[in-house]
Structure 1
Amino acid sequence: MRVSFDATGEVVVITGGAQGIGAALAQAVTACGGTAVVFDVVKPGPGVEYVEVDVADRSSVESAVAVVMARYGRIDGLVAGAAVQPRSAVVDMDPAEWTRTLQVNLDGVVWACQAVVPHMVARRSGSVVVFTSGMAVTGWAGAAAYASSKAALIAFAKSLAAEVAADRVRVNVAAPGVIDTEQFRGANAGVEREHWQDTIGIGDPEDVVGPLLFLLSDAAAMTGSVLTRERAFAKLATFTE
């Protein structure tokens, strides 16, 4: 069975889309005929629309969404992928590091949803995808801030999903597993990288694109769900290409 996606005329906002999974998704949305608009502090590669945004700044997010709405009049999908992953033990953690992690990873998703979802509700159509991590369940030494933010996002997404389900807006969570991105490489060197390679394996950003396109599409008749990669997620992406 072969699956293809048609995003003609649709607009997808991707926070943190300048690199990694977000960048791969932006290219895929464009290839499907849609318009991908990246919100990031770093400019993405060619062929993708970009608005400079610090997702931790609510006014910055609101202004960027206003730009997209003025230009296109619609936002069909929101993929909230902007995140930071500092590493330090809890007892040594700089309070500013803790605050910044939650501001980007958690508050940034909240601000994006607050700015985008009302437009989806007004059109009675839309899909929101946020990212969690296996660390949200297991925790991880040296990654308490990151793990905490990802655990909170599950509860946030499920709550928002319940609030807007009657308006035909879907909110789902993707747990991509371990993906070989610049952020992952910076936070998981040496022994930790070997651990991931020897256990669940390390995927590529493109492995996640198929499942994300599915969640954005009208084929995903579900909301408040968590789609988990592990090894199966990478296989699903292969099947949907």
Structure 2
Amino acid sequence: MTQHLSTGLAGRVALVTGAANGIGAAVAAALAREGAIVAATDVDSDGLRDSVGKITAEGSAARAYRLDVTRPGEVEEVLDRVEEELGPVGVLANVAGVLRTGPVVDISDADWRAVFAVNVDGVFAVSRAVARRMAARRSGAMVTVTSNAAAVPRMHMAAYSASKAASTAFSKCLALEVAGHGVRCNVVAPGSTDTPMLRSMFTDDYGPRAVLEGAPEQYRVGIPLGKIASPDDVAAAVVFLASDLAGHITMQELVVDGGAALGG
């Protein structure tokens, strides 16, 4: 008899940060399609409303919660409200992130702090708050979306790369600490993905081609699979690691970049 594989996500409350657009919106939608009750969060209220509207229009369950992940007090308040209104959070997807580019010698203190405030401090604040609750219930799965740039040096991306490396290391350390409480933590590291963040880096029509073919002058290879990822490509990896299909997987980093990091 063939056994049907189930994600086991139906009915679970899933908190998603950065859910207003891009990868975060795709993750929220993908979890909802698996039957999860999605608490979609972001600082972009208008974008969040649109994202949640699309999910509910498909007949899935989602509710919008405005959240600034850089404010730990607000994180606790919103999480309390989510659990009161929807139920205990069983899945966390840390997707909120910001990008500032430029040579190290030109990066401002404000840009450096802004990147770390969201990409590191935000991941810490949300993960800590959720981990406390999951550990007490001895159940849960957390997935943090970082970047393949965390492991491969990129010119003009020092702040972003360093922040993603920090959140990757943090997530693995957290995974070790909560494993004994039945909580899993993993990382999804995308490469170039068709999002507003990536498109903001293009200055001309050659931009997408350079991503695919590589830029030798920046010591950057292209994408062996010959395509830029879609947000859904990344969301599928997040859903897998959050689901029962990955029930014995923790402290791992799944790179979703079409081979751009050459397996690194």
TM-score, reference length from structure 1:
0.91
Please tell me whether the aligned partners of residues 85 and 187 of structure 1 are also in contact (alpha carbons under 8 angstroms). no
Which residue in 1 is equivalent to 2:228? Answer: 202
Which residue in 1 is equivalent to 2:140? Answer: 126
1:83 and 2:97 matched: yes
| Deviation readout 1:145-166 (Å, 9 max, x if unpaired) | 1000001112101110110011
| Cα RMSD, aligned residues only | 1.9
Please tell me whether the aligned partners of residues 37 and 86 of structure 2 are also in contact (alpha carbons under 8 angstroms). no
**Counterpart Cα distance in 1 of 2:152 and 2:7:** 34
Q: Which has the larger radius of gyration?
A: 2
2:42 maps to amino acid: D
Which residue in 2 is equivalent to 1:180? Answer: 194
Structure 1 pair 113/162, CA: closer, same or farther in 2 (3 Å)? Answer: same
1:189 Cα offset (Å): 4.0
TM-score, reference length from structure 2:
0.83
1:171 and 2:185 matched: yes
| Deviation readout 1:95-139 (Å, 9 max, x if unpaired) | 011001100000000000111111111111111111221211222
**Counterpart Cα distance in 2 of 1:80 and 1:223:** 15
Q: How does 1:31-46 map to 2 (within 5 A)?
A: 31-43=33-45, 44=48, 45=50, 46=53
Which residue in 2 is equivalent to 1:152? Answer: 166
| Deviation readout 1:75-106 (Å, 9 max, x if unpaired) | 01101010001112111111011001100000
1:8 maps to amino acid: A
Structure 1 pair 189/76, CA: closer, same or farther in 2 (3 Å)? Answer: farther
Query: Which range moved further: 219-228 or 195-204?
Result: 195-204
**Counterpart Cα distance in 2 of 1:155 and 1:129:** 13
2:257 maps to amino acid: E
**Counterpart Cα distance in 1 of 2:118 and 2:153:** 19
Q: Which runs of 5+ in 1 are unaligned?
A: 234-241
What SS does the corresponding residue of 1:224 show, helix, strand or coil? coil
2:237 maps to amino acid: P
Q: Which runs of 5+ in 2 are unaligned?
A: 57-61, 214-221
What SS does the corresponding residue of 1:76 show, helix, strand or coil? strand
**Counterpart Cα distance in 2 of 1:27 and 1:133:** 21
Size of the alignment, in residue pairs? 233
Which residue in 2 is equivalent to 1:226? Answer: 253
| Deviation readout 1:183-217 (Å, 9 max, x if unpaired) | 11113444553222222131111112222111011
What SS does the corresponding residue of 1:50 show, helix, strand or coil? strand
Which residue in 2 is equivalent to 1:58? Answer: 72
